Structure 1
Amino acid sequence: MSKSALSQHDSLFKKFLGDIPIAQDFLEAHLPLHLRERCDFSTLAMESGSVIEDDLRTQCSDMIYSVQTNSGKGYIYTVVEHQSRPEKLMAFRLLRYSVAAMQRHIEQGNNTLPVVIPVLFYHGTTSPYPYTTQWFDCFADPELAESVYRQAFPLVDITTIPDEEILMHRRVALLQLVQKHIRTRDML
């Protein structure tokens, strides 16, 4: 697709979805029911800026909306895919955009993460969209990835492990003991 056509698609997308009542209709039509039920669409507002990396701006356009939910402020994030072919790792890219929106939220002085709902708006020539939008499917081992990322990350809190247990950790025991007692003045 030519740069001119991409620019026209981008302008059309932003013109329509920049209108809050149209964006509200779009989201009410396309978000899953369990997400729609949590959103107060009367609070839908456009957020400024973009979370798409500079090198992808010629291929994509994004719109970010804030909306009050039953658990606070959330973001609805949409991406228009301007490529003529689908992207196999689009789910990962959507995750990256979501994390970027969360980071921006934190940088604005907030101390909790908002829920960001990424929405892929696809209009390519291949139909239907042939790839998953489940980011776990981007891994070679989706089951392993899900087992890691759907639970708390492993924590090694050396302050709670008794020294006797640390001594059984073989080659790493010395490092752990030093780190555990590093603030002890008379360690030696």
Structure 2
Amino acid sequence: MSKHHDHSYKLLFSHKTMVKDLLTGFVKETWVEQLDFSKMEKVSGSYISDELRDREDDMIWRVWWHDRWLYVYLLLEFQSSVDKHMAVRVMSYLGLLYQDLIRQDAFTPSGKLPPVLPIVLYNGEQRWTAAQNVADLVETVPGGLERYRPQLSYLLLDEGALVNAPDWSDEMRNVAAALFRIEKHRSEQDVVDSLGHLAEWLSGPEQASLRRAIIVWFYRVFLPNRAPGLEFPDISDVTDLHEVHDMLAERIKKWPEQWEARGLEKGRQEGRQEGLHEGVEGTLRKQIELKFGPLPAWADERLAQATDEQLDAWVARILTADSLDALFTEE
């Protein structure tokens, strides 16, 4: 996954609405209903250690819960493959976070450390299969040693599984859910509909920054991945999601034709290149056979596996080479 994608998602989840909707929409636990989102803030970079600050793709928020802060460690995982040791990474990051909380005297009224919810947000194509508790990665040894095996779970939010969940609906009015639906869309109409919902939900002036972040993500990350090679308008001054929705609804009708045309042209170019390669190889075979006789198996294999550059070099050398070994010698 590109760095553009990573940075764009970090920008999106630096907005309170995105994190709030992530928790209320996808963390199906009763304590979420008790959170006071009016007291919700992003932990500043100066508050955390250098080790955690270097975790560029992670976000740390805190939300008021009863008489204490609940910390939310949001780890954005946009790799192409599943990290089977993710639980160990999460355990390491939470250890660093707790060390910082101790240095800041950020204890609960009872003098204990505050609770932390570690979330792994994953958007890969294949479903997540890694262990979600570090204990499952440690060999069990009988005789009492198993008591010291570490126990730490993280909450996995797998976008591909979330958008196919039976309880998902547009009526959720959930910004995070709409974004996931766009990213994991089943059809172009899914994209248009989800953008329409976002334009409706985020129409207030106080949401201008989030609207802009979504527009940047949509044009610079989503569309280039979905429709590579197609040209899109300059978005430097675009702040209206309705405008983006209307543009998409009109242009998306032509995308299948454009994709098909580009596919045909690419096929023609590849076919022409392949035909040229085969023509040079065939001519060189005839020249070799005329000069040195039938090709031995090893020479036939060299020709079959040759690159365009190698064929060009051998064509230039065929007139002066006094043997097959001399012809195929790489200079």
- TM-score bin (small chain): 0.5 to 0.7
SS at match of 1:41: strand
Paired amino acid for 2:129: P
Q: Which runs of 5+ in 1 are unaligned?
A: 152-188
**Structure 1 pair 93–146 and aligned structure 2 pair: CA distance change class (3 A):** farther
**Structure 1 pair 70–39 and aligned structure 2 pair: CA distance change class (3 A):** same
Residues 1:130 and 2:126 aligned together: no
In the other structure, the counterpart of 2:14 is 18
Residues 1:103 and 2:102 aligned together: no
Instruction: After TM superposition, give the deviation of residue 118 of structure 1 in Å.
Output: 0.4
TM-score, length of structure 1 as denominator length: 0.65
In the other structure, the counterpart of 2:66 is 70
Instruction: After TM superposition, give the deviation of residue 113 of structure 1 in Å.
Output: 1.0
Q: What is the alpha-carbon distance in structure 1 between the residues aligned to residue 140 and residue 37 of structure 2?
A: 38
What pairs with 1:25-104 in structure 2 (closer than 5 Å)? 25-49=21-45, 53=51, 57=55, 61-104=57-100
34-43 or 102-111, larger mean C-alpha shift: 34-43
Paired amino acid for 1:20: K
| RMSD between aligned residues | 2.9
Kindly tell me the number of residue pairs found equivalent between the two proteins.
143
SS at match of 1:92: helix
Residues 1:116 and 2:138 aligned together: no
Could you tell me whether the CA contact under 8 Å between 2:61 and 2:72 is conserved in 1? Answer: yes
Between 1 and 2, higher relative CO (CA 8 Å, sep ≥ 6) is seen in: 1
Could you tell me whether the CA contact under 8 Å between 1:139 and 1:145 is conserved in 2? Answer: no
Bigger Rg, which one: 2
In the other structure, the counterpart of 1:141 is 140
Paired amino acid for 1:27: L
In the other structure, the counterpart of 2:245 is none
Instruction: After TM superposition, give the deviation of residue 139 of structure 1 in Å.
Output: 0.9
Could you tell me whether the CA contact under 8 Å between 1:95 and 1:118 is conserved in 2? Answer: no
Percent same amino acid among aligned pairs? 28
Q: What is the alpha-carbon distance in structure 1 between the residues aligned to residue 22 and residue 60 of structure 2?
A: 13
Instruction: After TM superposition, give the deviation of residue 137 of structure 1 in Å.
Output: 0.8
Paired amino acid for 2:106: N
SS at match of 2:57: strand
**Structure 1 pair 133–108 and aligned structure 2 pair: CA distance change class (3 A):** same
Q: Which runs of 5+ in 2 are unaligned?
A: 152-331
Could you tell me whether the CA contact under 8 Å between 2:51 and 2:96 is conserved in 1? Answer: no
Could you tell me whether the CA contact under 8 Å between 2:77 and 2:123 is conserved in 1? Answer: yes
Q: Whose strand proportion is higher, 1 or 2?
A: 1
Paired amino acid for 1:108: Q
